[in-house]
Amino acid sequence: MTDLNEQDIQPPQNIEVPSQLPMLPVRDIVVFPYMVLPLFVGRDMSIKAIEAALAGNRMIFLATQKALDVENPAPKDIHTVGTAGIIMRMLKLPDERIKILVQGIAKAKINKYIQTDPYYSVRIDKVPDTKPTATPLEAEAVMRTVKEQIERIVSLGKVLIPDVMVVIENLEEPGRLADMVASNLGLKVDITQAVLEIADPIRRLRQVSDILGKEIEVLSMQQKIQAQAKGEMDKTQREYFLREQLKAIQKELGELDERAEEVTEFRKRIKDAKMPEKVLKEAEKQLKRLEKMHPDTAESATVRTYLEWMVELPWSKRSKDNLELKAAAKVLNADHYDLEKVKERILEYLAVRKLKEKMKGPILCFVGPPGVGKTSLGKSIAKALGREFVRISLGGVRDEAEIRGHRRTYVGALPGRIIQGMKQAGTSNPVFMLDEVDKVGMDFRGDPSAALLEVLDPEQNTAFTDHYLGVPFDLTEVMFITTANLIDPILPALRDRMEIIEIPGYTEEEKLGIAQRYLIPRQLDEHGITNKHVQLSEPAIRQIISHYTREAGVRNLEREIANVMRKVAKKVAEGKGQGFSIDPSNLNKYLGVSKYVPEAELEQDETGVATGLAWTEAGGDVLYIEATVMKGKGQLTLTGHLGDVMKESAQAALSYVRSREKSLNIDPSVFSKQDLHIHVPAGAIPKDGPSAGITMATAIASAFSGIPTRRDLAMTGEITLRGRVLPIGGLKEKILAAKRAKLTTVILPRRNKKDLEEIPKHLLKGIQLAFVDTMDDVIKIALRRRGKTPPTSKKQPASPAPARIRPLRSGKGRLSHELPATVMTDRVPARS
């Protein structure tokens, strides 16, 4: 508000307020009559209203918005009572806003909105003050009370412009006094608006008096609180001087100084830590700073915390490795079933350490589906090596400071998780597990994956520098192990620094061994029962594996075993028996009905149906592809929630079949007279990947030629237009899926034959592998040529129908009740 004096608040003489005026909605202030104030206008509607007023008699109606945050207020968002004013000055600002100086003329009320676009124009009725209902004596008393209250508020610290105080002191009209006080107190808009809308001047002045009374109470309490705070501050200063005097007296008496004792203790711990030379210089520098600081300052607390971290880190402490290969192998075999490749890699590391004392720690990355034992394997490795084990989870980490730490200039700064883990380990050569490295995120706070490059690069982590410490820390002796479910999300540069070891899913035989060796004994112990209380037969375990779980790992298998143990423990606790034998006949009493039942999908060889193999995050899966022809115009329809890669594979497969119409004895005219529909069941699940090409081509060839496909056979591979079969990834997972489905033959690309060396031989028992180079080879194997395959008879039993595990209840886009909707993908050869 501008400075006022008695002359300023006099309105222009002989100004008649018209009944129709442009309206300017104001946000955070209520304009009163006789009030002069500047306004900054930026909204287009408001600017046009001002231009309309300046083009006429310079008068405008000022009404307050009910809500400040409404950018384009409607009539319902604006108070009806406002003030008619006159624009005294106008200035256009460089930012396209307008600054005006406006003076209130008279109070008015909106009668009707005449115009709403491009600006508001309203018809108004003047609202004059009513005749006071109080006696002159009563009016004089109220006015004196208000003036005294104003003086009291100013004495309590409320700032009012001196000119305003002069004007208030000289006002003799109750209505104008109320308006002047209400407009200068800085009250909330709704309170000030309520004062404006009161027509009776004495009643309006009493309302202002009540507001002043509440304001006096608030200011009095505020002054009391400030006085108490000042008293506390004086007390603190007094205690400081007394404490300094006490220290001087203690020094004269020869008593030990606390600060000197703390510095001496830090100096001893720094010496015992055996820090590198560069780190030692920084620690001694900070200790000298602490020695010169007053112990009560905030800076000394920061330096003290920094020194605590420096002396507690394991700069030179290291554990002695257990280099006995047989003992380490015994520990690994006792804790984990199979995983020969991982165990061999650890034993190789121990062998090299035995021959060469100084070597850089390996950086391994265990990749595999959930539940295969990646994290627990890290604990076993630490146990086998005789080292400390530290684990941190990187899932969802988005701040780079979580890895590198915060700078000490920030309040509450701490080192990053790497340095915190090293402090937790207490040695410089622990087994450090970085879990879920594929789930690291990034945002405006940086990329933690990029920060991990320095940690996991053997050439750089000799001098890993945390932002909090500011000095290098040697991580070369640390054995870093990372885990991931997928390789793709990992930053390529980070992936390059790690040795990838894939841990695929387990077969039924492997799960049986894991359950008998580890899961059942552990669950017996956790539920307080023994083998005397319950016997879980091998057929029952197999039934749990095949009928109650569907996963690559064993996490859900352990849950189901725990479910059995809980029910047995309850019966034992209730005294209903001691020895319970569980076999397939009574398993459903403990676990309920089977969640997955083997269903014979193909009772006999059928045309237009081919069995493919797919890779998922949970391991391999069987994929049935159906093709059918019908009368039409040669259109191709694809259903089953297929991705772009599978759609293109279907187009390529159709083109291949059309190019082989003679060898397949297909009438060329059918391609223009019949439509082809390809469908992959489980349509709610997204599917994509390049491994379904030959399966689609086989289904199409069978549908058009009328030759049935073999029901005991599955295949995987991509197809080119020339009919070449390209290699695929995830070979072990796909073979496991074929074994689970009881299929006897699997067609594979010949270029994948080299990958069989990494697959245990026992997995290949009972399965015949057919390696092919071209799609012609696939057709020869997959289609039952008439006259070449003897028909099924009672004397010659048919090959068993493939069993497909299906969930009894399909969830909303879920493959099973444990797994989320899984995208059927296939890894490229470089990842296989």
Binding site, annotated residues for ATP: 368-375
Please name which of 404, 408, 436 lies closest in space to residue 420, comparing C-alpha atoms: 404
Q: Evaluate whether 643 touches 650 at the Cβ level (below 8 Å).
A: no
Q: Which of 734, 739, 816, 832 is catalytic?
A: 734
**Which residue, chain included where needed, has tokens 């410490």?**
469
User: Please, which residues bridge with residue 40 across strands?
Assistant: 99
Q: How far apart are CA 506 and CA 343, in angstroms?
A: 16
Q: Which of 428, 691, 816, 832 is catalytic?
A: 691
H-helix or E-strand spanning residue 279:
helix 277-292
Q: What is the DSSP letter of 716?
A: -
Give the pairing of strands 768-772 and 803-807.
unpaired
Neighbours of 35 (CB within 10 A): 24
At 595, list the tokens: 């969640």
Query: Is 754 assigned a catalytic role?
Result: no
Q: Residue positions in the annotated binding site?
A: 368-375
**Which residue, chain included where needed, has tokens 């203690």?**
250
H-helix or E-strand spanning residue 465:
strand 464-465
State yes or no: cis peptide before 118, omega within 30 of 0.
Answer: yes
Q: How far apart are CA 821 and CA 624, in angstroms?
A: 17
Q: Evaluate whether 689 touches 826 at the Cβ level (below 8 Å).
A: yes
Query: Is 734 assigned a catalytic role?
Result: yes
Map residue 473 onto helix, strand or coil: strand
- Cα 177 vs. chain centroid, distance in angstroms? 59
Q: Which residues contact residue 200 at a Cβ distance below 8 angstroms, ignoring those fewer than 6 apart? A: 129, 130, 132, 133
Q: How far apart are CA 644 and CA 637, in angstroms?
A: 14
Map residue 638 onto helix, strand or coil: strand
Q: Which residues contact residue 158 at a Cβ distance below 8 angstroms, ignoring those fewer than 6 apart? A: 185, 215, 219
Q: Evaluate whether 697 touches 675 at the Cβ level (below 8 Å).
A: no
Catalytic residue ranges: 691, 734
